[in-house]
Structure 1
Amino acid sequence: MADVLGEADDDRPSGVKPDIFDTFLKYVDQYKKSYYNETKELHFRFNIFKENLVRIEKLNLHTNKSFAWYGINKFSDLTPEEFKASYLTDLKPYVGSLDDKNHITQVDKLHSLNIPQKLDWRNFKNQSYVSPVKNQNSCGGCWAFSTAELMESMYAIQKHVPPPHLSVQEIIDCSQYNSGCTGGDTCAAMQWMVDSHVSLVNDTKYPLTDTSDYCKLLPSPTTGVKVKNFTCQSYLDDEQDMLMLLSNGPLTVSVDATLWANYQGGIIQHHCGNTINHAVVIVGYDLTGDTPYYIVRNSWGPDFGINGYLHIKIGENICGIAGHVSTLYIV
């Protein structure tokens, strides 16, 4: 990177403000981009970076401090098409999209519930029932990550123990109703767990490889976690029931994450459609402020968003979050 930085004056594209190109060079260095010594690719990525800066500026055109804000992150050198191809083509739900109707759950219904005004399974009665944030990297396996993460939390809650670190790779390789790193569905993965009576082992016994491979299930594992049963439901217009369900543990949901690429923080209240293309886990909620929100765990690493998490407004099916909701129960 020193060579590129040292040659910045010579390599800078004509007509570009020095501060923008220098910002990009610092970005390339910070995120250790592989093209830092490839001038042609560097300039190609720089043009994409500039377009993303414009897109970020438009997304931030609001005055409400609680709204989500967007900024430069590890995805800022990708086109929307590249981002979608790498991170949003891996979910193949039973229903690929939702209707265009507005689905509203009145806020007074949320506040009238006989539940705590805040709940966070990362810190519930001084114990965490949520494992560290994972990173799916180049594997299109959000469906497998969210399924394993839900199993970890529900096992911890139901057995009153810290969450185990379960093998996502076992689900990717062995779930017969899905397609490994090229796509799958959370409900199909849970159905496979129930039908096959398979034990999901610790990830040290079946480590993540970020690729699809042949199934290497142990014949009769002495340890592991099994799914007894599960639910896959829609809570459109009934998000108060989702909050009630969250009192039992986290939920896996399918969402539209098309414009999440440059999310930094705040509460997502706009900039979402209803094309379902990603699976995440809701680990809690907060009803105390003017804008109630879900606490959502992602699988793009802890360097994304709020230490790997997002906040999404409750009550308006934002990002299609209430359309495909799952929970499960451990044997």
Structure 2
Amino acid sequence: MKLVFILLPIVALASTAAHTIGASDPDIDEFGIEFGDIVIDADEKAKRAKALMENEDAIRKHNDEFRHGKSGFYMKLNELSDLPADEEEKQKFGLIHVEEPTDEYSRGAYPMHEDTYDRASQTLLAELRQNVQVPSSFFVSENHRTAVKNQAQCGSCAAFATVAAVETCLLKNGANLQGLDLSEQSLLDCAYNPAKYANGCNGATISAYSIFLASNLNGKLPHETVDPYLNTNPRLQCPNKPSFNVGAKVTSKIVNHNCDESTMEMLVVQYGQVITSLFAGNSSEAAIRTSFSNYAGGIYDGCPASHSARNNVNHAVTVVGFGEDNGQKYWLMRNSWGPHWGMQGYMKIKRGVNMCAIGRECTVPICGSDSAPLSSLPPPPPASPTCDVSARYVITGNYNWMFRNVTSQVRCTAGICQLRTGTMMGNSLCKQLCGSTTSECFAA
């Protein structure tokens, strides 16, 4: 029997998903279609169905506590809710732990190493402390923020956090918001150097990419259209694509491996976005991992005080502001898990107590003017070959399609699908999606 679905706007889906997926017997096919994450492999589907049931149970229990005033944040299903713990850690994080690796899979970000001490940064920080007045609340203008992106299955959070900060840096220095979308892939590939803690899909420190961009590629990156994201298939060598000239570029950076929340407030006020790290749970801290991954709103305070040390961190994010709700101080943090997650891709996280170790390390790219002629927006890429999946899925929308442990990002209309990002493996999209050598999947 065919499954017929139309993928509704992301925000609407995210807000209603907990009601449309059965609490006692979740249908993994229905969940996958609703959240754009189709899995063909039977064994993988069974693992995900189990994870989904566990997350639904945890969400139900936690939200009951929220309704009774025992928690300051609430949870909901999102596209991460069917990921087993090991897959989530490998795919959705990306901060490398330099000193004492304890997990089989890092969430993708390393704590910054002592070798990153930067005297120029300390001098600049000392000047800023004398000159920057920090208000009680501050949020960078939405005109200085680009759209939330999704790192998909690659542990590339540090690259995505860096590009988000760079885009704000450029906008605050005169770039045009219209069409600004820089290539994370070029940064991942060109900066790749495990000896300097930039290790592709296996993570990086929060400072690795800002340090690289401040002294390489003339401080500029290509447009996303010119060098699209390849997810789990990076080149790990520089493609030398033309840069997207916007009238500004990265000229230097601030790297502070011994940061604090007061310093981060000052940096947010001055620069708009700050790259920082935090602990987002792991397989041995299931309660934190579950609450962080399924966060939906309120002020997050799911990490106990024992997780405030910088050597706990495993995820890179960007902080875009800070404020206060009902006497509770919070950071406004931008993630790289797409707009399904959290508050359209953002989280409010408790401020002033190093919640989840946030603010223990900070990095900021700094921009200046660029005299190169402005680039025109590149044309859209040519359409990719199509594959007809309508014999099983009559679907319309954007999906992550997993077959034989290969995830392809596709765009479908009435069951006719084509790649929306990345490159085709081999000469047949249907072969990639379902093993078919014809132009159809699941044909009778």
**Alignment TM class, shorter chain as reference:** 0.7 to 0.9
**Aligned: 1:52 with 2:49:** no
Instruction: Return closer, same or farther for 1:228/1:26 CA change in 2, 3 Å cut-off.
Output: same
Aligned to 1:172: 188
User: Which stretch of the first structure deviates more once superposed, 275-284 or 73-82?
Assistant: 73-82
Distance 1:59 1:278 in 2: 23
CA contact (8 A) 1:67 1:266 kept: yes
Instruction: Return closer, same or farther for 1:199/1:48 CA change in 2, 3 Å cut-off.
Output: closer
TM score, norm. by length of structure 1: 0.78
Aligned to 1:203: 224
Within the candidate set 292, 296, 301, 1:269 is matched to 301
Instruction: Return closer, same or farther for 1:3/1:170 CA change in 2, 3 Å cut-off.
Output: closer
Within the candidate set 141, 149, 157, 1:142 is matched to 157
CA contact (8 A) 1:235 1:241 kept: no
Q: Please state how far the C-alpha of 1:204 moved relative to its aligned partner.
A: 2.4
**Aligned: 1:328 with 2:390:** no
CA contact (8 A) 2:112 2:257 kept: no
Within the candidate set 78, 88, 92, 1:73 is matched to 78
Alignment of 1:105-124 (within 5 A): 115-123=134-142
Letter in 2 for 1:130: R
Partner SS state of residue 277, structure 2:
strand
Could you tell me which runs of 5 or more consecutive residues in structure 1 were left unpaired when the two chains were aligned. 5-17, 97-112
CA contact (8 A) 1:29 1:36 kept: no
**Aligned: 1:20 with 2:20:** no
CA contact (8 A) 1:94 1:185 kept: yes
Letter in 1 for 2:109: L
Q: Please state how far the C-alpha of 1:117 moved relative to its aligned partner.
A: 3.5
Q: Please state how far the C-alpha of 1:72 moved relative to its aligned partner.
A: 1.7
Distance 2:250 2:190 in 1: 15
Q: Please state how far the C-alpha of 1:198 moved relative to its aligned partner.
A: 4.2
Alignment of 1:162-311 (within 5 A): 162=177, 164-177=180-193, 178-196=198-216, 197-210=218-231, 211-213=233-235, 214-218=237-241, 221=243, 223=245, 226-234=249-257, 238-248=260-270, 249-258=272-281, 259=289, 260-271=292-303, 273=307, 274=309, 275-287=312-324, 289-311=326-348
Q: Deviations over 1:186-221 (max 9, x none)?
A: 312111112324422222232222231131124x75
Aligned to 1:9: none
Aligned to 1:86: 91
Could you tell me which runs of 5 or more consecutive residues in structure 2 were left unpaired when the two chains were aligned. 5-21, 94-105, 115-131, 282-288, 369-444
Q: Please state how far the C-alpha of 1:261 moved relative to its aligned partner.
A: 1.2
Aligned to 1:15: none
More strand by share: 2
Distance 2:134 2:211 in 1: 30
Distance 2:39 2:317 in 1: 31
Distance 1:166 1:294 in 2: 25
Letter in 1 for 2:138: L
Q: Deviations over 1:251-279 (max 9, x none)?
A: 11111122221111111112363521111
Distance 2:252 2:293 in 1: 34
Q: CA RMSD in A?
A: 3.0
Distance 2:351 2:244 in 1: 41
CA contact (8 A) 1:154 1:330 kept: yes
Q: Deviations over 1:138-164 (max 9, x none)?
A: 121111111111011011112264373
Partner SS state of residue 191, structure 1:
helix
Distance 1:234 1:20 in 2: 46
CA contact (8 A) 1:254 1:277 kept: yes
TM score, norm. by length of structure 2: 0.60
Q: Please state how far the C-alpha of 1:37 moved relative to its aligned partner.
A: 8.8
Distance 1:69 1:79 in 2: 21
Instruction: Return closer, same or farther for 1:162/1:19 CA change in 2, 3 Å cut-off.
Output: closer
